[in-house]
Each structure stands twice: as C-alpha cells, then as structure tokens.
Amino acid sequence: MQTVLIVIHLMVVIALVAVILLQRSEGGALGIGGGGGFMTGRGQANALTRATSILGAIFFFTSITLTVLANWGRAPTSVLDRVAPPVSSPSAPAPGGNLLDQLQQLERRAPATPAAPATPEPPRSQ
C-alpha cells in the first residue's frame, strides 16, 4: 500500500512541477518572464490554474496519508526509554534521591583518612 502511494505521490510531484512551469509568468522581476508560448490566452490559464490547485490538493493528501501510514503501528516512545542505564561502580552513589543525598552517600562510603599536617621541609644546604 505504501509503495503504491509513494509512486502516485511521485507522479503527482512531477505533474505539479510541469504544470507550474507551463504557466505564464505574470511578473518581470528579472525580465525573463512573459512572451508568447504554445499555450497563450485566458482559457488555458484558467485550466492550468485549476490543474495546479487540484494537483496541489492531491499532493497534500498523499503527503498526509504517507505520514499516517508510516506512524500507524508505531507505539509511543519516550527519549528516556532509549537511554542506557548508567553502569554502576562500587563507589557510585545509589540511584534515586537528589544530589545532596548522593553526595552524602559517597561521603559515608569513602574511607576516612586523616589529613596529614603540613610540615615545612628543612632548608637544604648547598
């Protein structure tokens, strides 16, 4: 179903580009528009305008339908479900709690080593 709709969508896109390029330019912003062509006159302009609007509506319909089909069987997911859980090490705090609780747990686990008093080195003789 999706492949058929993609083929139809591509044919509509090609036809839409062709119909837009066949239309007569109304501006002369760059001086390249206007002039005569094989389709001149007001009747052809109405037909091309109508064809453009119909092809545009079909383009939007096929685009929305393709989007719905692509997401039809997909279950809602969260970004947080895709994140791998952190690897815990023996010194890592237990999950849960706020940052202060985790820091207090780390402090309790760390061995208490008394800080050695800073003693100045004796001067060296030369």
Residues in CB range of 20: below 8 A, 6 or more apart: 52
pTM above 0.95, yes or no: no
What pLDDT shows up at residue 6?
95
- Which tens digit of pLDDT belongs to each residue from 6-59? 999 999 999 999 999 988 776 655 555 555 555 555 566 788 899 999 999 999
The DSSP code sequence of 28-96 is -SSS---S--SS-SHHHHHHHHHHHHHHHHHHHHHHHHHHHHHTSSPPP--HHHHSPPPPP-TTSPPSS
pLDDT the model gives residue 88? 62
Q: How far apart are CA 62 and CA 12, in angstroms?
A: 9
What mean pLDDT, rounded, does the chain reach? 78
